[in-house]
Chain A
Amino acid sequence: MENTKLIVSYPPYTKSKDSIEKVMYTVVFALLPAVVAAVYFFGLRALALIFVCSISAIGFEYLINVFRKQEIACFDGSALVTGILLALNLPSNLPYWMAVLGSFVAIVVVKQLFGGLGFNVFNPALAARVFLLISFPVAMTIWPIPFSVDMQTAASPLGILKTEGLKAANSITLWQAFIGNVGGSLGETSALALLLGSVILFWKKYITWIIPVSFVGATLAFTGIFHYMEPLKYASPAFHFTCGGLLLGALFMATDMVTTPVSKRGQLIFGLGCGLLTGIIRLFGGYPEGVSFAILIMNAFVPLLDKWDNYSNGKKWRLTKMRSVIVLTCIGFFSAFLLYMTDNITKEPIKKAIERVKVEALRQIFPFEFSDKDINIAFDKNGKEFFEIKNKDNSLRGIAVETSSDKGYGGEITILVAVSPDGKVFNYNVLSHKETPGLGNKIENEAFKKQFNGKTLDGFNWKVKKDDGFVDELTAATISSRAATDAVKKGLEVISNKYFVENKK
């Protein structure tokens, strides 16, 4: 008793085993599936980038600890989480020095200059990503294609949607996007890996369902409404769900404890705000992706949301079981309603809209003006659709038919060919293709199309010059040129079969 040194401190004298390290390394563990997916799709360069980001983040943390004469806290896991999250937000072919610069912005500027762990207003990894995006717009928006050996690049699905429109974006299947086999930053491509990793966070109760569900729900609702109103202009909610950084943002960025509200009501509003802003930026903003901006903007509202509760009546807004059930049911019903809408009710408008598109296309390929009434649809014995343009006296002015060739570089090319009543090609229009942007898609150029003008099926070798034909192939796109030639020839063949061979008989 005499030698015992007693400590006097305030209760409680027993504490839970939780610690900052435990929280942070659990998040790291939850990010592992996304890291594995990134390495699987983008190769070892992705792993190297993750290492560079993590180590530089920890290094900057250490340096600033030393500089600010703080306790060395660079191994508490928070810098590692920031590093990995930053890497997951970058394209895998980003130069290493840019990644290190990103770590510097994240750790030194956004985190430590605001006071260090627990005091930063903005999510460090996201702020650094936005910094890099604005500083190096080209490097930050060219995404390597998964599995490509020589780092071939492509736009991300959302980028395609923004610059080339819905038609091009629809060539990406949702399954492809869900497992992550699309262009994009390391972590955002695989929705599957992100969902898998987040399970542990939900299980450990490090995150609640409120922010992810309200965030994703609001995005889906917003994009869903526009998709329902104009299905050909706006992508479906499912596309917005699987493509881009929505899941990475909703599960790992918007649930960062430090920069999101503590109160449940605050979290609900935070999530809804993020979702709405994401939707607005994706549909109407200058950038294809809005998740980062949305979260950063909502970060700024956090202190306000947290101090909202009014204690004058001694009550605090709590997310009771009843309220959770109501919110979840509403979201569930709303989603189901949207699915029903998009699936059934949009069928008719889609069909009509497709017709409208074809009429537009027809106007482009015939060298003369005509009204909608002049179009007559005929069928051959195989049920193939022919668009006949009639004169006032009901005689034939021109015929158009949809044909396709599967010899394209990226798959099937579908075109609409217009032919005169005497079997001469007027012009054609590409309805859909998957050729390489900048090269193969030149088959849509007028200069290339012009070569076919006036050509008939007989008397011409329907091949490219390389194969002793008459068609001047496009530079570096011989395969695409061959496919286009093939498609036009096929169109001529079906038309001559129906109109000339049958007539001769």
Chain B
Amino acid sequence: MKTFKCGGIHPDENKFTRHLSIETMPMPKLLAVPLIQHIGKPAALIVKLGEQVKKGQCIANADGFISASIHSPTSGKIKKIENHPHSGGKFVKTVFIESDGREEWAEGLNTDEIDFKKLSLEEKLKRIKDAGIVGMGGAGFPTHVKLSPPKDKKIDTLILNGAECEPYLTADHRLMLEKTDEILKGLSIIASFFPDGLKIYIGIENNKPDAIKLMNEKASPLGFEVVVLKPLYPQGGEKQLINAITKRTVGNGQLPFDVGCMVNNVATAYAVYEAVCKNKPLIERVLTVSGMAIKNKKNIKAPIGTMFSDIVDYCGGIASRTMNLLISGGPMMGKAQYSFDVPVIKTTSGILFIDEIKLAEKKERPCLRCGRCEEACSVNLKPWLLSNLAQKDVERTLEYGLNQCMECGSCAFVCPSKRDLVHWIKYAKVMNANIKAIGATERQ
């Protein structure tokens, strides 16, 4: 069984929802659609307050090269446009849409399935761009940008990321089981952007044997190879997955296409299929609702813009009085929320309701220098040294590879002293960015 070369941890999987089919959530009355749901520039708003919108209608255009457009998840009226809590932690300009309950699609969208082979590359890319598709594994990099890499980079390997190494999350797992054909069609569409001779892998961790079996049955005839991976976090990270499957190493400051690889998430592949074959923009996504503090754990398909409070109501309410953590995403890389009004966005792969009192009381203890963080680090850093330097001499953290850190949290997970290593590394990154900015201003 394959896995990546260095570091990695294996936390308790807690995948309680692995056997639950995806339920489609009813349309909530009010949706909050933020204008930032991707990496890059916020989308430019093109609707006005009080305007009537149809389902799937574009409400904000991609603004600039790295950006993605945003669509109305339902038909209804623009009720207000104001700053609102966002799962990224900041207040973000958000469009509130009051649903009229008619679910009327805009013209030409959500058509019957067409054969993607009849479409030219330009048409396919345009459909993907117009649908506002971004990487749905968490980073949110616009897919149309990813599919047009610089001409001098030759892609010879395409990887479908079905690792889903985060504990609790089962959305990708269920999607692979229930939408197998659609995902494979989406993968074929992505593959059609690259020359023949492309090697196509589907990487799945072996804690999902049913998905492996199903994928093997359906993907092998298409010439795709299913690679069984040993469960190890953070295998779902691009660089780790490339290393696990192809043994290639994406170096410091390199991108996957520098080693001829491209990685796409299964949810992205599904969205690509819907955009190209059905001309359906990205207005809903599958996510896992789990954790000990929610009454009914579920895998749900929710419209983008659904506020977490609506999901709580749909899942039977909060079961624990002591619940203290609301997490958007998985427990390793997700973000704790301070409000139930935060909406689901394109990159929300799960919502967790945790009631661990111990976590609330956790306190940083002194570093024992046991070196486990170094062992666990999958990019070969010294988290203990970085976190110490961050508090004393923040500029020196750059000498020790600060910017290679992808904040996967493996180091903080294994630390016996419960040190907030990721916090200090993030802090050092922000401080160094500030120092750089100040330096640039002074030079001017």
Chain B associates with chain A: yes
Spell out A's residues near B (CB within 8 Å): 1, 3-16, 18-20, 22-23, 116-119, 206, 257-258, 260, 262-263, 306-307, 309, 311, 313-316, 318
- A117 touching B366 by the CB < 8 A rule? yes
Q: Which residues of B contact A (CB under 8 A)?
A: 6, 9, 11-12, 89, 167, 251-253, 309, 312, 317-318, 321, 323-327, 331-340, 352, 354, 356, 359-360, 362, 365-372, 374, 380-382, 384-385, 399-401, 404, 407, 409, 412-418, 420, 422-423, 426
Q: Who on chain B is nearest to A9 by CB?
A: B336
CA distance A318 to B412 in the complex (A): 20
Most chain B CB inside 10 Å of its own CB: which residue of A1, A19, A23, A307: A1
Q: Using A23-B416, A263-B374, A314-B404 as known contacts, say yes or no to A118 and B12 having CB atoms under 8 A apart.
A: no
Closest beta carbon of chain A to B312's beta carbon, Å = 6
Query: How many Å lie between the Cα of A11 and that of B336 in the bound state?
Result: 8
Known: A1-B318, A117-B368, A262-B382. A10 touches B422 (CB 8 A): yes
- Could you list 19 further interchain pairs (A-B, Cβ under 8 angstroms) beyond the known A7-B360, A15-B418, A316-B382? A4-B326, A6-B339, A7-B336, A9-B336, A9-B359, A11-B407, A11-B422, A12-B409, A14-B11, A18-B414, A20-B368, A20-B416, A119-B366, A257-B368, A258-B368, A262-B385, A309-B382, A311-B399, A318-B6
Q: Are B369 and A15 in contact (CB under 8 A)?
A: no
Which residue of A1, A6, A23 is within 8 Å of B337 (Cβ)?
Answer: A6
In the complex, are the beta carbons of B401 and A257 less than 8 A apart?
Answer: no
Given known pairs A1-B340, A10-B423, A257-B371, the reply for A316 and B380 (CB within 8 Å) is yes
Interchain nearest-CB distance for A31 vs B (Å): 17
- In the assembled complex, the Cα of A307 lies from the Cα of B389 at a distance in Å of 11
Q: Which residues of A contact B359 (CB under 8 A)?
A: 7, 9, 13, 15
Contact partner of B422 (CB less than 8 A), chosen from A12, A20, A257, is A12
From A10, A22, A258, A313, residue with most partner B Cβ within 10 Å: A10
A and B contact pairs by CB, cutoff 8 A, 25 listed: A1-B312, A1-B340, A4-B323, A6-B337, A8-B89, A8-B336, A10-B422, A12-B333, A14-B167, A15-B412, A15-B418, A16-B413, A16-B414, A16-B415, A16-B416, A20-B416, A117-B366, A206-B370, A257-B368, A257-B370, A262-B370, A262-B384, A311-B401, A313-B252, A316-B380
Q: Is the CB of A13 within 8 A of B354?
A: yes
Q: Are A8 and B338 in contact (CB under 8 A)?
A: yes
Q: Closest residue to B360 on the A side, CB-wise? A: A7
Contact B6 A13 (CB under 8 A): no
Which residue of A has the minimal Cβ distance to B380?
Answer: A316
- A118–B369 touching, CB < 8 Å: yes
Measured CB to CB, the nearest residue on chain B to A317 is B380
A13-B334 contact in complex given A1-B312, A7-B324, A20-B417, C-beta closer than 8 Å: yes
- If A15-B418, A311-B399, A311-B401 touch, whether A6 touches B338 (CB-CB below 8 Å) is yes
Shortest Cβ distance from A313 into B: residue: B252
Specify which chain B residues have a CB less than 8 angstroms from the CB of A9 in the assembled complex: 325, 336, 359, 420, 423
Contact A314 B324 (CB under 8 A): no
Question: Do B332 and A11 have beta carbons less than 8 Å apart?
Answer: yes
Please tell me which one of the listed residues B312, B331, B416 contacts residue A11 in the complex, with CB atoms under 8 A apart: B331
A309: B residues at CB distance < 8 A: 382, 400
Q: Quick check: A314 and B401 within 8 Å, CB to CB?
A: yes
Q: How far is the CB of B212 from chain A (nearest CB, A)?
A: 25
Q: How many angstroms from the CA of A116 to the CA of B321 in the assembled complex?
A: 39
A20 touches B365 (CB 8 A): yes
Q: How many whole Å from B411's CB to the nearest CB in chain A?
A: 9
Quick one: closest B residue to A260, CB to CB? Answer: B369
Asked if A118 and B366 make an inter-chain contact with CB atoms under 8 angstroms apart, the answer reads: yes
Smallest CB separation, B352 vs chain A (Å): 8
Chain A residue numbers with a CB within 8 Å of B253 are: 314
Q: Could you tell me if A11 and B11 are in contact, using CB atoms closer than 8 angstroms?
A: no
Q: Is the CB of A14 within 8 A of B331?
A: yes
- Supposing A118-B366, A311-B399, A316-B380 touch, asked if A12 and B332 sit within 8 A by C-beta, the answer is yes
**Given A12-B413, A14-B167, A118-B367: A318 in contact with B380 (beta carbons within 8 A):** yes
Cβ-defined contact, B420 with A10, below 8 A: yes
A263 to B404, CA, bound (A): 18
Residue of B at shortest CB range from A76?
Answer: B365
Closest to A206 in B: B370
In the complex, how many angstroms separate the beta carbon of B400 from the nearest chain A beta carbon? 6
Q: How far, in angstroms, from A116 to B412 measured CA to CA in the complex?
A: 22
Are A19 and B323 in contact (CB-based, < 8 A)?
A: no
Flag if B6 contacts A257 (CB, 8 Å): no
Task: Name the distance in Å between B421's Cβ and chain A's nearest Cβ.
Answer: 9
The smallest beta-carbon distance between A170 and chain B, in angstroms, is: 41
A262 interface neighbour in B317, B366, B371, B416, Cβ under 8 Å: B371
| Cβ contacts under 8 Å, A4 to chain B | 318, 323-324, 326, 340
The docked-state distance in angstroms from the alpha carbon of A18 to that of B252 is 31
Q: Among B326, B412, B418, point to the contact of A19 (Cβ < 8 A).
A: B418
Please report the C-alpha to C-alpha distance between residue A309 and residue B381 in the assembled complex, in whole angstroms.
10
Q: How far is the CA of A313 from the CA of B362 in the complex (A)?
A: 37
Whether B252 lies near A314 (C-beta < 8 A) is yes
The smallest beta-carbon distance between A307 and chain B, in angstroms, is 7
Expressed in whole angstroms, the Cα–Cα distance for A14 and B401 within the complex equals 25
